[in-house]
Amino acid sequence: LCFQHDAQMDYYGTRLATCSSDRTVKMFDVRNGGQILVADLRGHEGPVWQVAWAHPMFGNILASCSYDRKVIIWKEENGSWDKMHEYCGHESSVNSVCWGPYDFGLILACGSSDGAISILTFTGDQQWDVKKISNAHTVSLRHF
């Protein structure tokens, strides 16, 4: 049994990203009423709860979070999607990811069942700065 947990359109409404309990993130081209599978991203080891698109000024970038305690940032280059970054700094399921406004740069908030929030900021040269707010919530964070 496979449950779909989230679906998000990109900024232009041409691509749909989905995630599910089968540990995958799937990308569909939905232009002109189509539904063409263009990518099947595998990297999580548990159900994937949520996906979030970064602003297109940074390129085609998608974040995903999972029960496996990981956040994966995917980037498309030359028609191929690959891991840009993998963050494993939470003690429990990561339930929510949300990109900040583009004028703050490439910055991602991640909320976890461990009560912590992590802020990942791209600093260039494939490097990410991490700020973690432990015990930000006394109960698990489900959604931003």
Per-chain mean pLDDT for the chain: 93
What confidence tens digit (pLDDT) does each residue in 86-108 have? 999 999 999 999 999 999 999 99
CATH architecture of 4-133: 7 Propeller (2.130)
In whole angstroms, give the CA distance from residue 27 to residue 49. Answer: 15
This prediction's pTM? 0.93
What confidence tens digit (pLDDT) does each residue in 45-92 have? 999 999 999 999 999 999 999 999 999 999 999 989 999 999 999 999
Strand partners, 74: 62, 83
Annotated domain spans of the chain:
4-133
Say whether pLDDT at 14 is over 70.
yes
Contact between residue 29 and residue 15 where contact means Cβ atoms under 8 Å apart: yes
